[in-house]
């Protein structure tokens, strides 16, 4: 194996460790040109598969084999929550952001379900997190008691069933959107903030649930998991300014005005990608197929077209293309889940899968099974 040698210069300090290699990720990678891969499968190959199959790929490295059905049964058998866990979640204060409820619920779940075994707790938390999140949303939104879990329906079908969403949305279509959203967000390499924080906390031998709670604290911020909520707000603001009958020229003029005024164009650019995010492409295609007449989707599609045109003219912008956040919130809204305050919780529901699996690798498989040492980067003393 080749040695990686480099000299650290002062301008590389206080930059969020961006680009510094610190370990291995065995679940996923992001190619600058081709986008996200789970193992060796592109996200485009995986987007429409049952979430259980994609989870199995992340856990076992295979899409399907003789153990797949047994794995699905294990998820079903472990999915239901202890009644005391439900009672405690319903006691959490609804005045706080729902991500606070998710963070607290993970520690509650660990108190009753934790086995102090990273592999077992990984499967348990993946199995139980859909019911946890359904209860959090129903409780926070005052939608009433959560229906009894029916894991036989399927991983995301059951989650959709447990949500008491007002307005009678098409739950079959909504379940399809939730399934795709989940598949697209399960994992995203080894160095994004939430997974890094989760692994760092686990490096001190904190259990799976405490490590995931810390990871969700990282996910909750507007620079990370709250981005799709902010992007939806941007699309809504644009719609309010230009109206439902806006043309591409109307959108282009608005974008140019924002650029001149140094205002953000939300949903464009990516830390790694240099092409349109394939996850965004998948959602754009879904929007065109199922929701082409929805006002938000119309605006999102026009922003995609004219945003790239305008931003490509700016020399300093390396990636003028949309990322998944540019369209995911609009898709959720168009499908009947028009409750952006819960978008980050949905992100957490999905991302917990990849973080839990990466924690298992670092604690139980890395360095021949010894696990990685405690995270301890070097900081240089600076006087004054």
Full DSSP string of 222-239: TTTTTHHHHHHHHHHHHH
Place of tokens 């031998």: 205
Q: Compute φ and ψ for 268, nearest 5 degrees.
A: -115, 145
**CB-based contacts of 11: which residues, under 8 Å, 6+ apart?**
none
Q: Compute φ and ψ for 281, nearest 5 degrees.
A: -55, -45
Q: What is the DSSP-derived secondary structure letter of residue 137? A: H
Burial class (CB in 10 A: 0-12, 13-18, 19+), 262: exposed
CB atoms within 10 A of CB 63: 16
How far apart CA 67 and CA 52 sit, in angstroms, is: 12
As a whole number of Å, the end-to-end CA separation of the chain is: 42
Residues identified as active-site: 224, 270, 325
* Assigned token pair, 327: 């369209």
Burial class (CB in 10 A: 0-12, 13-18, 19+), 95: exposed
For residue 103, what is the enclosing H or E element?
helix 98-113
Rounded-to-5 percentages of helix, strand, coil across the chain: 60, 5, 40
């Amino acid at each position: 194996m080749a040695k990686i040698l480099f000299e650290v210069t002062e301008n590389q300090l206080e930059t969020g460790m961006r680009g510094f290699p610190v370990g291995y990720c065995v679940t996923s990678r992001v190619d600058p040109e081709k986008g996200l891969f789970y193992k060796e499968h592109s996200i485009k190959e995986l987007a429409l598969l049952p979430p259980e199959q994609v989870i199995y790929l992340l856990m076992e490295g295979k899409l399907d084999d003789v153990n797949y059905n047994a794995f699905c049964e294990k998820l079903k058998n472990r999915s239901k929550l202890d009644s005391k866990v439900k009672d405690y979640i319903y006691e959490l204060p609804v005045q706080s952001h729902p991500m606070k409820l998710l963070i607290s619920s993970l520690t509650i779940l660990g108190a009753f379900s934790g086995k102090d075994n990273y592999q077992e707790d990984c499967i348990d938390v993946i199995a139980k997190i859909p019911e946890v999140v359904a209860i959090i949303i129903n409780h926070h939104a005052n939608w009433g008691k959560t229906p009894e879990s029916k894991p036989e329906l399927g991983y995301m079908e059951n989650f959709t069933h447990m949500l008491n969403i007002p307005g009678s949305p098409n739950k079959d279509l909504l379940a399809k959107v939730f399934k795709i959203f989940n598949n697209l967000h399960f994992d995203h390499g080894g160095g994004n903030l939430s997974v890094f924080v989760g692994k760092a906390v686990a490096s001190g031998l904190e259990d799976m649930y405490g490590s995931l709670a810390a990871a969700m604290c990282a996910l909750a911020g507007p620079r990370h998991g709250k981005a799709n909520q902010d992007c939806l707000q941007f699309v809504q603001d644009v719609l309010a300014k230009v109206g439902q009958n806006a043309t591409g020229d109307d959108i282009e003029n608005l974008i140019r005005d924002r650029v001149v005024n140094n205002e953000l164009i939300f949903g464009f650019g990516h830390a790694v990608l240099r092409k349109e995010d394939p996850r965004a492409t998948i959602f754009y295609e879904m929007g065109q197929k199922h929701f082409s007449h929805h006002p938000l989707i119309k605006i999102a599609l026009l922003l995609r077209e004219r945003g790239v045109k305008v931003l490509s003219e700016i020399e300093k912008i390396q990636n003028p293309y949309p990322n998944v956040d540019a369209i995911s919130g609009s898709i959720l809204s168009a499908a009947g889940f028009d409750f952006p305050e819960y978008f980050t919780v949905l992100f957490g529901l999905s991302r917990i899968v990849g973080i839990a699996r990466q924690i298992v690798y670092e604690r139980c498989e890395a360095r021949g099974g010894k696990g990685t040492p405690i995270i301890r980067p070097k900081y240089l003393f600076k006087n004054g």
